[in-house]
């Protein structure tokens, strides 16, 4: 078993923000299933949280843009969300770029500081980058 990546945010005393972890992927018919683990330590419940992802192939060419809706993300909780990436095998994905946070809102309405609270992690072998 490979060692788990070491992160300062694994210590609850030092963890803050919204960790988005591309935790694993698996082959499905017609594409690749991605398992995203969202750890919300912001103190805010996100009622809307929609991400725009650029899926790059192993040559660094954009294969597709994918929009995923991760909401709701309750404060102080972790949530597992599964998304299928169509028309590309997991092994053909070179990296995933967080291109945009298309929608981001809490109970007070739309927020403009969402990129500031996000931390990206990947345990899947596919880099997840800003």
**How is residue 95 annotated by DSSP?**
E
Q: What is the CATH number of domain 17-129?
A: 2.60.40
Q: By C-alpha distance, which of 107, 126, 130, 110 is closest to 118?
A: 130
Would you state the pLDDT for residue 11?
A: 47
CA atoms within 13 A on the CB side of 59: 3
What residue ranges do the domains of the chain occupy?
17-129
Asked if residue 4 has pLDDT above 80, the reply is no
State pLDDT tens for residues 60-94: 999 999 999 999 999 999 999 999 999 999 999 99
Query: Within 10 Å of residue 27's Cβ, how many Cβ atoms?
Result: 11
State pLDDT tens for residues 13-49: 446 899 999 999 999 999 999 999 999 999 999 999 9
Predicted TM-score (pTM) of this structure:
0.86
Higher pLDDT, 118 or 10: 118
């Amino acid at each position: 078993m490979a060692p788990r990546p070491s992160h300062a945010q694994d210590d609850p005393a030092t963890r803050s923000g919204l960790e988005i972890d591309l935790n694993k992927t698996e082959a499905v018919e017609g594409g690749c299933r991605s398992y995203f683990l969202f750890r919300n330590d912001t103190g805010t419940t996100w009622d809307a949280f929609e991400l725009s992802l650029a899926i790059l192939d192993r040559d660094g060419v954009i294969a597709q843009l994918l929009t995923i809706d991760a909401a709701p993300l309750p404060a102080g909780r972790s949530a597992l969300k599964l998304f299928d990436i169509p028309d590309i095998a997991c092994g053909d994905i070179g990296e995933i770029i967080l291109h945009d946070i298309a929608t981001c809102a809490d109970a007070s309405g739309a927020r403009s500081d969402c990129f500031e609270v996000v931390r990206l992690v990947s345990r899947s072998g596919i880099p997840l980058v800003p």
